[in-house]
Structures are given as C-alpha cells and as structure tokens.
Structure 1
Amino acid sequence: MDADTATGELVGGRLVLLAGGTSAAGRACARALLDAGARVVVVGSDAERLAAVRSALPGVAVERSDLTDESAVIAMRERVQALHGTVDGVLHLVGGWRGGGGLAGQSDADFAFLSRGLTALRHVSRAFDDDLRASTAGRLAIVSSTAVARPLAGGANYAAVKAASEAWVRAVAQGYAKAARDVGREATAAAAIFRVRSLEGLEDALASAFVGLWDDTAAAVNDVVIELAAGS
C-alpha cells in the first residue's frame, strides 16, 4: 500500500485495540500507531507485562482481561467505551506455538492450548463488531501463519487452529461487505489476514502493514491475505 496512492482515511485520531498486545510485536504496533497519531489500548491478561507496556509507551492505555472469557471481554469493551469511546480498529495477537513429534505428537492438550487464540478472536470480534461497522474506517486484522497454506504433520494442531481463525476472519469480512450492500452504501469496515512464517524480526513490518490498512479503502483491504517476509 503506497501512501502516494492512498485513497482511504488515515489512522490518525482513531482508537485502536491490540488484543494480546504485550508481546514485542504488540509493542511495535502500538509504537507505530502512536507515531501515526492514533489512540491505542493494549489488552492482555498479565498485569506485569501490561505495566511494562505502559512504562515503555506512556501514551498507551492498558486493559487487563481474559480474552477467552466472554463475559470478561464484554466487561472490557464496556470499560474501553466508557473511558475512550468506540473502537475503530482491532489487531488480534493472541496466539502461541505448540507442536512437533509428527502426527502422533499432536496432543489434545496442545490443541486445547492453541484453540484459546481462536476463542479469544471469536469473543473480541463479536464484542467490537458494532463499533467496527459503525466506524468510518473500521479495521480488524489477525496474524496467521504460512502453515495454513502448507501444513506439516508436526504442526497439524497449529495449522488447523490458524486455518479456523482465517475462516472466521473471512466470514467477518463477508459480513462487512454484505451489510454495506444491503443498505446500498460503500463499505467502511474491512477484515484482513497477515501471514508470517515467524514474527521474529518482522515486528516492525507487521506494524507498518497494519497501520497501512487505513491508507486504502475498505473494499481494497477487505478479505485479503497479506504475506509478510524479511525485507517486506
């Protein structure tokens, strides 16, 4: 997305929520959003990590919430709306890795652990669906994996959960487009997928690409898969 040919609205002044945003990738995205003039809320479950984010990035607001608990997510949304207003963007960074051992090594315990990311995505995307649809430039994005396109036996659990997460986001994207068509107006909300082999070393690339979602129209970035690699 080239800023010279940008046709959409920029992210400045908008409220963006980073779900599971206490990681290095989350901090990079928060920093890029702040630099672009956005307001940022980082949500996580660990109080110490949230405090570290707030110390490193004083302009960021933080919220503690268990994103796998639907009632906790609803309560978090109400706090965010009361303190900061409605949300214009959500980046879902809840995830993790467990794998190895071939197909026989794909345990139910590991699948349950990985599935927490999908559960959190479902809760967060539903909780903020009205906000993103009502925004003049709503954006939802997740970080997925290249394993979806080429799954390996030793990462079957991981690839299956990532594929399900992508399917969920694509369904959200279809809902955004249909809602706009049904009322005869141009779409303003978009849902996109970032795919990486590994986020290590790509934190800044992810941050730039996420901020760039506001530099295009919703129609241009809705239901798209953006692959990030070294040098991107």
Structure 2
Amino acid sequence: MNGLDGAVIAVAGAGGPAGRAVAARLARAGAQVYGADADGGRLRESMAAAPGARGAVVDLLDPEATRRWAGEIEHEHGRVDGLVHLVGGWRGGKEFGDNSLDDWAFLHDLLVRTVQHTSLAFHEALARSPRGRFVLVSAEAAGKPTAGNAGYAAAKSAAETWTLALADALKETDAAAVVLVVKALVNDAMREARPNAKFAGFTDVADLADEIAGLWSTDATDLNGKRLCLNVP
C-alpha cells in the first residue's frame, strides 16, 4: 500500500508552526492524524486546522506517557504507519563562551530525549507497517556547527545518530527512518513580524509539509537511513 490514504500517522510537536502545517497537509491527503504537544492550547489550534485530526497533550519527556500514547493509537487502529518528529527549539549565542551547560541540558531534553522516547515507543509498530515512516526534521547545524551554537548542533547531531540507528533496525522491514535537514524554518507569522527580512535558505513550513507527505509515496529502500537536505547546498 502506497501513499497517505488511510495512513495512521502520529505527529510529535504538533502544536508548533511546522506541526500545524504538517498535520494539515497529511490530513488533507487522507491520513488519520494524531498530534501530540505539551501545550494544549496550541495543539487544539493545530488540530482544528487539520480535517479529522485528533490531539493529545503528552509530555514526551515522560517515556511511559509516550508509550501510552503510541499504544492507544495502535490499539484503536491496529497499526501505526508513521511518526513525524517536530519537537524543536533553540538556545545559543554568537561566541563560544556564550554556550552554557544549562542550555545544553534544555536542548538535550527537547531535541534528543523526545526523539529517544518517541522512537522507542513507536518503532515496533512502524516495523510491522507496510509503509512505516519515522521522520526527523534536523538542521544544517548538526554537520556545520558554529561557535555559538555548540549545544544546539550537538543535540541535533545526537538526534540524527539515534535516528540512523533506528534505520539500521528497520533495514529488513518495509519501514524507513529518514532525516530531513533544513537551514531553518520560516512561516507566515515570522514574515509578518519581520517584513524586510529575506530568510535566505530557510524552508517554508508548507514546503516542509509537502516534502514529508511525499515520503509515503517513496519506496522505503530509497529512504531508509538517508539524510535529505532541503534548500541546503
């Protein structure tokens, strides 16, 4: 079975701008979308924009809560066909001395722990699916860190490495784990707030959503373990 029609897809971090765009795009293509976010207000707004989507307030830093969320989705449908990880955030500065271990602890939880918890919670269901996809959205910084973003770059790099280990676990299945790399993301609210900014090389969240939707129409063997760069030279 190919494409998104009837696919059961979980979106972690569904309350942010990227989550809202992705959930709406997947739902319009016929997927049954289940969004999770720690912010109930933002989550409700995102789910309202995605036809038929359902949301759950989940602390993805709690491994048991994350497993319950995964189990509830699979129990209801008998399968899970995708997990899109969109939990994001940034802390850093301009100089190397601006890096702090407090920022690292924050980013480690946000960008690494949530990937670990969601992948461990969903990987068995994804492996059983004939079209399972685990999608991590990462950043160019993971491969090209700058002086002031050591914590962010290190966390993104760790998340990518963890995802590639999942890809190795899926190599004998019809599922795939894939990393999508962006320089940064931009949305309409950011453009309105900074009308003179060029956002050169940034990926619009709507374009990201289109790229993610296309992963269910691409063979797993062409995706698994790949690091695909969007708007990144």
Q: How far apart, CA to CA, are the structure 1 residues paired with 2:155 and 2:36?
A: 21
In the alignment of these two chains, the number of paired residues is: 216
Aligned to 1:40, which of 23, 33, 41?
A: 33
Matched residues in 1 for 2:93 and 2:79: separation?
Answer: 41
Q: Is the 8 A contact 2:126 2:175 kept in 1?
A: yes
For structure 1, list consecutive stretches of 5 or more residues without a partner in the other structure.
1-7, 181-186
CA gap 1:10/1:58 in 2 versus in 1, 3 angstroms? closer
Corresponding residue of 1:197: 183
Structure 1 runs (4+) greater than 3 angstroms displaced: 82-85
Q: Secondary structure at the match of 1:66?
A: coil
Aligned equivalent of 2:151? 157
What's the offset of the Cα at 1:59?
A: 1.3
| Aligned counterpart in structure 2 of residue 115 of structure 1, from 108, 112, 136 | 108
Deviation at 1:78, TM superposition (A): 2.5
Counterparts of 1:10 and 1:133 in 2: how far apart (Å)?
A: 17
Sequence identity, in percent? 37
CA contact (8 A) 1:18 1:93 kept: yes
Deviation at 1:81, TM superposition (A): 2.6
Q: How many Å apart are 1:30 and its aligned residue?
A: 1.0
Pairwise CA distance, 1:87? 1.1
Q: Using structure 2 for the length normalisation, give the TM-score.
A: 0.88
Letter in 1 for 2:49: A
Q: What is the one-letter code of the residue matched to 2:10?
A: L
Q: CA deviation at 1:65?
A: 0.6
Partner Cα separation in structure 2 for residue 30 and residue 49 of structure 1: 13
- Superposed, 1:1-232 pairs within 5 Å as 9-116=2-109, 117-177=111-171, 180=172, 187-201=173-187, 202-229=204-231
Aligned counterparts of 1:173 and 1:82: Cα–Cα separation in 2: 24
Amino acid at match of 1:189: A
Distance 2:67 2:27 in 1: 25
Inter-partner Cα distance in structure 2 for 1:215 and 1:77: 23
| CA positional deviation for 1:145 | 0.5
**Superimposed CA distance per residue, residues 113-139 of structure 1 (whole angstroms, 9 cap, x where no aligned partner):** 111121011011010111100000100
**1:84 offset after TM fit, Å?**
4.1
The Cα RMSD (Å) is 1.7
Partners of 2:219 and 2:105 in 1: CA distance? 37
SS where residue 128 of structure 1 aligns? helix
Partners of 1:37 and 1:55 lie apart in 2 by: 16
State the distance in 2 between where 1:32 and 1:215 align. Answer: 14
The SS at the match of 2:138 is: strand
Asked whether the equivalents of residues 19 and 46 of structure 2 are also in contact (C-alpha less than 8 Å), the reply is no
Higher relative contact order (CA 8 A, sep 6+): 1
Structure 2: runs of 5+ lacking an equivalent = 188-203
Q: Does the 8 A contact of 1:205 with 1:228 survive in 2?
A: no
Please give the alpha-carbon distance, in whole angstroms, between the structure 2 residues aligned to 1:199 and 1:193.
15
Three-state SS of the structure 1 residue aligned to 2:4 is: coil
Q: Are the aligned partners of 2:67 and 2:121 in contact in 1 as well (CA < 8 Å)? A: yes
Structure 1 window deviating more from structure 2 (79-88 vs 108-117): it is 79-88
